[in-house]
């Protein structure tokens, strides 16, 4: 493109993604403790900018690190990215290896299976979804029909692939029906022929299809908005002291350490009493919080960042379920059993 030629919207968007990726790289260099998450975000922006080789470089760098936190997730992301720019054989090999390692987190399985699905490898996608469910969903959850929210994408993805394959309904599909939160049945949402209705000249057919699409969009929005627990932020005593020493204006949020601990338990009990499920506690550290503030181009002294920070930690899978199981140690770190400490 000539320098005096205005960029097209697509070119502007690509440049914006590259700029954001490079900003995240600089932030990661400043805050190595949060480098993994920051570089994963940078890789995602490079993928959106179609700079997929730069995304792969980040995945390779993270996998080479001895301190990598979630290698299975990174391998799945790398495989999905590689397949999109012509490295099919390597992507397949990574997915095969990933399945052999049997990760205990649903996310790598979902990414690998959806990558296979998007490239019309429906039988392999079906096998991958099924392997994950058999590994991660114990018999008690199957019998009770209470599969945790984090595993729902496995159920829904498998159901979608089976509809594409024309396979009959089975027990897993029945659980998927139970996990469906829309007003439209999954068999309709995942009907491979339903998009053909968009070409119809019949207003009634078009209206019905628009209703289905809206329901599906609603389910996607819900999945994006709450793929993790509703979590409350906990500062251990040493981090609490360091936080207020560095940012004394936050004392309005945290008048004392005892009040901080009491507020956590009280907030969670109120949420539980109001019917909110999937509750958890995330533990903050000052370096991690400062890195988050930098990524948001904000100051750590801004109290409004605290709930956003908690949500981000929960999204990274850092939340511990609340309340603790019977006999388990209290979440506050006192060493006492929960029932004898904050669970009284």
The 10s digit of each residue's pLDDT in 3-51 is: 333 344 455 677 889 999 999 999 989 988 888 989 999 999 999 999 9
In a domain, 1, yes or no: no
Q: Looking at the 3D structure of the chain, how many domains does it have? A: 2
The pair of three-digit structure tokens given for residue 234, joined into one six-digit string = 């906990």
Buried b (16+ CB within 10 A) or exposed e, 66-92: eeeebebbbbbbbbbbbbbeebeeebb
Q: Same domain for 320 and 197?
A: no
Are 150 and 291 part of one and the same domain? no
Q: What is the rounded radius of gyration, in angstroms, for the C-alpha atoms of the chain?
A: 23
Assess whether 153 and 244 both reside in one domain.
Answer: no
212: pLDDT confidence band, cut at 50, 70 and 90? low
3-state DSSP helix/strand/coil % of the chain, to nearest 5:
65, 5, 30
Supply the range of the domain harboring residue 239. Answer: 230-340
* Judgement on whether residues 215 and 97 belong to the same structural domain of the protein: yes
Instruction: Tell me if 2 is assigned to some domain.
Output: no
E strand or H helix at 68: none
Domain final position from 180, 200, 225: 225
Please report the DSSP string for 141-197 in residue order. Answer: HHHHT---GGGHHHHHHHHHHHHHHTPPP-HHHHHHHHH--SSS-HHHHT-TTGGGG
**Residue 150 confidence (pLDDT) above 60:** yes
Among the candidates 175, 200, 225, a domain finishes at 225
Instruction: Examine residue 220 and state whether it is found in any structural domain, yes or no.
Output: yes
pLDDT tens digits along 213-231: 676 666 555 544 444 578 8
Q: Are residues 211 and 256 in the same domain?
A: no
Domain match, 91 and 209 both = yes
Whether 54 is covered by a domain: the verdict is yes
Q: How far apart are alpha carbons 158 and 178 in whole angstroms? A: 14
Q: Is residue 274 part of a domain?
A: yes
Round to whole Å and give the CA distance between 279 and 232: 8
Which helix (H) or strand (E) is 36 found in, with range? helix 35-48
Is residue 169 domain-shared with residue 237, that is, in the same domain? no
What is the predicted pLDDT for the residue at 312? 82
H or E element that contains 316: none
- pLDDT, position 276: 82
Contact 46, 314 (CB under 8 A): no
Q: What's the CATH code of the domain at 49?
A: 1.25.40.10
Q: State pLDDT tens for residues 280-314.
A: 999 999 888 888 888 778 899 999 899 988 888 88
Nearest to 291 by CA among 32, 7, 12, 19: 32
If you count them, how many residues does the chain have? 344
Q: Give the domain-ending residue among 195, 225, 255.
A: 225
């Amino acid at each position: 493109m000539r320098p005096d030629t205005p960029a097209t919207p697509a070119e502007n968007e690509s440049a914006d993604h590259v700029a954001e990726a490079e900003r995240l790289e600089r932030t990661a260099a400043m805050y190595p403790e949060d480098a993994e998450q920051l570089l994963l975000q940078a890789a995602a922006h490079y993928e959106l900018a179609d700079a997929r080789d730069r995304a792969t470089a980040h995945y390779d760098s993270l996998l080479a690190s001895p301190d990598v936190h979630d290698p299975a997730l990174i391998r799945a992301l790398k495989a999905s990215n590689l397949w999109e720019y012509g490295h099919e054989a390597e992507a397949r090999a990574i997915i095969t290896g990933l399945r052999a390692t049997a990760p205990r987190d649903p996310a790598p399985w979902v990414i690998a299976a959806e990558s296979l699905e998007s490239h019309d490898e429906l039988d392999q996608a079906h096998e991958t979804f099924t392997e994950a469910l058999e590994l991660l969903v114990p018999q008690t959850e199957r019998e009770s029909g209470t599969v945790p929210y984090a595993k729902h994408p496995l159920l829904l993805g498998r159901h979608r692939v089976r509809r594409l394959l024309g396979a009959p309904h089975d027990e897993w599909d029945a659980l998927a029906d139970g996990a469906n939160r829309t007003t439209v049945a999954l068999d309709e949402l995942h009907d491979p022929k339903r998009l053909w209705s968009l070409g119809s000249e019949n207003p009634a057919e078009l209206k019905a299809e628009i209703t289905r699409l809206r329901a599906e969009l609603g389910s996607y929005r819900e999945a994006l908005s709450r793929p993790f627990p509703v979590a409350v932020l906990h500062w251990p005593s040493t981090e609490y002291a360091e936080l207020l020493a560095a940012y004394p204006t936050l004392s309005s949020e945290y008048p004392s350490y005892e009040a901080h601990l009491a507020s956590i338990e009280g907030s969670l009990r109120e949420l539980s009493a109001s019917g909110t499920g999937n509750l958890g506690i995330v533990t903050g550290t000052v370096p991690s919080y400062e890195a988050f503030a930098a990524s948001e181009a904000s100051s750590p002294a801004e109290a409004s960042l605290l709930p956003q920070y908690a949500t981000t930690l929960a999204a990274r899978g850092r939340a511990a379920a609340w309340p603790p199981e019977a006999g388990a140690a209290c979440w506050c770190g006192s060493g006492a059993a929960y029932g004898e400490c904050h669970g009284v």
